[in-house]
Amino acid sequence: MEKRRQYEFPRFLHHWYLVIFTLALLATAQAFDYGDALAKSLLYFESQRSGRLPYNQRVTWRDHSGLTDGLEQGVDLVGGYYDAGDHVKFGLPMAFTVTMLSWGVIEYGEQIAAAGEYEHALEAIKWGTDYFIKAHTSPNVLWGEVGDGDTDHYCWQRPEDMTTSRQAYKIDENNTGSDLAGETAAAMAAASIVFRKANPHYSHLLLHHAQQLFEFGDKYRGKYDSSIGVVKNYYTSVSGYKDELLWAALWLYKATDRVDYLKYVINNAHCFGGIGWAITEFSWDVKYAGVQIIASKLLMEGRHEHKEHSHVLEQYRSKAEYYLCACLNKTISANVDRTPGGLLYIRQWNNMQYVSTAAFLLTVYSDYLKHSGQKLSCPAGEVEHQEILKYAKSQVDYILGSNPMGMSYLVGYGPKSPRRVHHRGASIVSYRENKGFIGCTQGYDNWYGRDEPNPNIVVGALVGGPDWQDNFRDQRGNYMQTEACTYNTAPLVGIFAKLHQLQLQLGEHKLSRTPSFFASY
Ligand SMILES: *[C@@H]1O[C@H](CO)[C@@H](O)[C@H](O)[C@H]1NC(C)=O
Ligand SMILES: *[C@@H]1O[C@H](CO)[C@@H](O)[C@H](O)[C@H]1NC(C)=O
């Protein structure tokens, strides 16, 4: 409580306080090239492509793969993304990746365009949504996985040589999967907003699929891992499907403005845990914090139809604030752990996924507060929007090299980044260079165990990252730290664009010496 006093500046000083704060925010320590990071983050999605690669494919160490996916089941499932360093196409994390990419474009599309990356961002989303359209073969059928982790992990092969099972798995009325259907609906609804102007026909098509998928998931309720058993050791839905149903309804509300969807989020707020769960993790599995933050934004917008539900929206907001305050170390007792170097630390296996999602939620919330002229109230004091952004930036800067190891965890960015990423395709000679077949165990014998760096660089991949003491071992077998996933990088796209724009504005300010930027920020 005492601390709050020091922020009570006289009115005329307040503006200059913001000026200095913003200067400090942008000028501290190392300067990173966020534009370069943005371009690289989008390149990463090309290295994860499955299917027939287009003529303008920029990641040239990759080639066509998985061209018969779905054939055995009589359905065309060619395309989509490999989630990480293996070749299974897992529907749930793929959909979450596309939702986060789309959310980034919805919030920071202008900044992405200003950096010249808008087309690439849309292509990254469309590579996923084109696949979801194929996988949603009838209103109540969604194909949710191709290949299986167990057989895939026996092999260390390039995707172009793949000899493992390509069995496809689906959910339907009798084999429910509301989490998978819900997340895929959220992804397609969010993407429909992205494509509204650029491609109205496609946008409409996505929305149609999203609405059907949501209805399917809501009507036939159940967890997808009971229907697609092979997913269990890889992407079990621990949090169940209720968060995804709220998440889907909220994205559909944003995409359609239809009050039914809003009512769903309001009426199910309590029984689906939307206003009950205060969780410090936002991930491919657990969507509550995302739901709560979008619901808070509705409240801040102050539209008539939201005022009517302000009581429930306030409860969503209180849980959103819990998440944000815990990330900011501003609760009394339940803060998220940090490494000595300052990185948010949730758990040892692929911790970076939680860092990038937290940085995203903090960044968008900072913007929402700024636009509504509000502050975040935490148990340990009020927080201004600039301070929230500053904290998000500290996490991004840690990722890019401001850390005790002095390395970037975004592969291919900066002078030092992981060179032995746990990634089948990257660790074996490129198919374009050597088309000789490399078998299942041959890959393990000749490539996996090598001490040398990978021959191909998975540029833009965000690896699992360091342990709780900021230590990182760059070894292929150390998959908890050196594997990268599409949903690690996806939330970074929008943040990089935002920071890139701030950097440009600061540069212009220096040139022109006008205070306009600070006045607007
Ligand atoms: C679901 O099960 C019922 C009863 O066994 C069957 O009639 C129906 O065709 C099944 N639906 C699907 C989509 O497989
Ligand atoms: C988090 O807050 C606690 C309590 O105010 C403080 O002791 C601790 O140093 C803070 N941690 C960091 C990393 O700022």
Average pLDDT over residues 160-184: 97
What per-residue confidence (pLDDT) applies to 30?
65
Rounded mean pLDDT of 331-338?
Answer: 93
State whether the Cα torsion 288-292-295-297 is positive or negative: negative
CA of 377 to the centre of ligand 2 (A): 17
**Residue type for 206, please?**
L
Instruction: Identify whether the C-beta of residue 478 lies closer than 8 Å to the C-beta of residue 466.
Output: no
Residue 169 pLDDT > 50: yes
263 lines ligand 2 (CB under 6 A): no
Ligand 2 atom at minimal distance to the Cα of residue 335: 1
Reading phi first (left if > 0) and then psi (alpha if -120 to 50, else beta), residue 350 is in left
Cα–Cα distance, 290 to 271 (Å, whole number): 17
Extract the runs of DSSP E, i.e. beta strands, from 172-237.
none
366 Cβ contact partners less than 8 Å away, ≥ 6 residues apart: 385, 386, 388, 389, 392
Strands of 297-414 (E only): list them.
337-338, 344-345, 376-378, 381-383
d(CA 490, CA 407): 20
Atom 7 of ligand 2: nearest residue by CA position: 329
User: Scanning the structure block, which residue is given the tokens 């061209």?
Assistant: 67
Instruction: Give the number of other CB atoms < 10 A from CB of residue 444.
Output: 14
pLDDT at 5 over 60: no
> Could you tell me which CATH class the domain 31-520 is placed in?
mainly alpha
Please name which of 29, 114, 116 lies closest in space to residue 508, comparing C-alpha atoms.
114
Q: Give the residue whose CA is nearest to atom 14 of ligand 1.
A: 174
Give the span between the Cα atoms of 50 and 504, in whole angstroms: 36
Q: Which atom of ligand 2 is nearest to the CA of 380?
A: 5
Q: Which segments within 369-483 are labelled E, that is strand?
A: 376-378, 381-383
Selected catalytic residue, list 385, 422, 423, 500:
422
Instruction: Give the Cα separation of 509 and 515 in Å (integer).
Output: 7
Q: E-strand spans in 252-379?
A: 337-338, 344-345, 376-378
Does the beta carbon of 172 lie inside 6 Å of ligand 1? yes
Q: How confident is the model at residue 29 (pLDDT cuts 50, 70, 90)?
A: low
Q: What is the length of the chain?
A: 521
Q: By percentage, how much of the chain surpasses pLDDT 70?
A: 92
Residue 282: CB atoms within 10 A of its CB come to 26
Main-chain phi, psi angles of 285, to 5 degrees: -95, -45
Task: Quote the ligand 1 centre to 208 CA distance (angstroms).
Answer: 24
Which DSSP helix (H) or strand (E) runs through 144? strand 142-146
Q: In Å, what is the CA distance from 304 to each residue of 259, 288, 317, 512? A: 12, 25, 18, 42
Determine the residue type at 79: G
pLDDT for 11 beyond 60: no
Residue 381, strand partner residues: 378
User: What are 223's two structure tokens?
Assistant: 């967890």
The answer, yes or no, to whether residue 1 has pLDDT greater than 70, is: no
Query: For residue range 428-471, what is the model confidence (pLDDT) as tens digits?
Result: 999 999 999 999 999 999 999 999 999 999 999 999 999 999 99
> Which of residues 202 and 306 earns the better pLDDT score?
202
What's the pLDDT tens digit per position in 30-72? 689 999 999 999 999 999 999 999 999 999 999 999 999 999 9
Residue to substitute in 173, 219, 220 for testing ligand 1 pocket (most ligand atoms within 8 angstroms of CB):
173
Q: How far apart are the first and last CA of the chain?
A: 27
Higher-confidence residue of 16 and 500: namely 500
In the chain, what are the domain boundaries? 31-520
174 in ligand 1 pocket by Cβ < 6 Å?
yes
- Whether pLDDT at 129 is above 60: yes
Buried b (16+ CB within 10 A) or exposed e, 355-373: bbbbbbbbbbbbbbbeeee
Q: At what angle do helices 11-27 and 486-512 cross, to 10 degrees?
A: 120
Give the closest ligand to the alpha carbon of residue 142: 1
Is residue 14 over pLDDT 80? no
Instruction: Provide the pLDDT confidence category of residue 18 given band limits of 50, 70 and 90.
Output: very low
Cα angle 317, 319, 320 (rounded to 5 degrees) comes to 60
Q: Residue 511: which pLDDT band, with cuts at 50, 70 and 90?
A: very low
CA–CA distance, 320 with 365 (Å, rounded to integer): 9
Q: Are strands 337-338 and 168-171 parallel, antiparallel or unpaired?
A: unpaired
Predicted confidence at residue 16, as pLDDT, reads 46
Q: How confident is the prediction for the chain on average, in pLDDT? A: 92
CB-based burial label for 453 (10 Å; 0-12, 13-18, 19+): middle
Confidence of residue 515 (pLDDT cuts 50, 70, 90): very low
Q: What is the DSSP letter of 241?
A: S
Q: Please tell me the number of the ligand nearest to residue 337's CA.
A: 2
Residue 510 pLDDT exceeds 70: no
Which helix (DSSP H) or strand (DSSP E) does residue 189 occupy?
A: helix 178-198
Say whether 469 sits in a helix, a strand or coil: coil
Lowest model confidence (mean pLDDT) among 274-283, 412-421, 438-447? 274-283
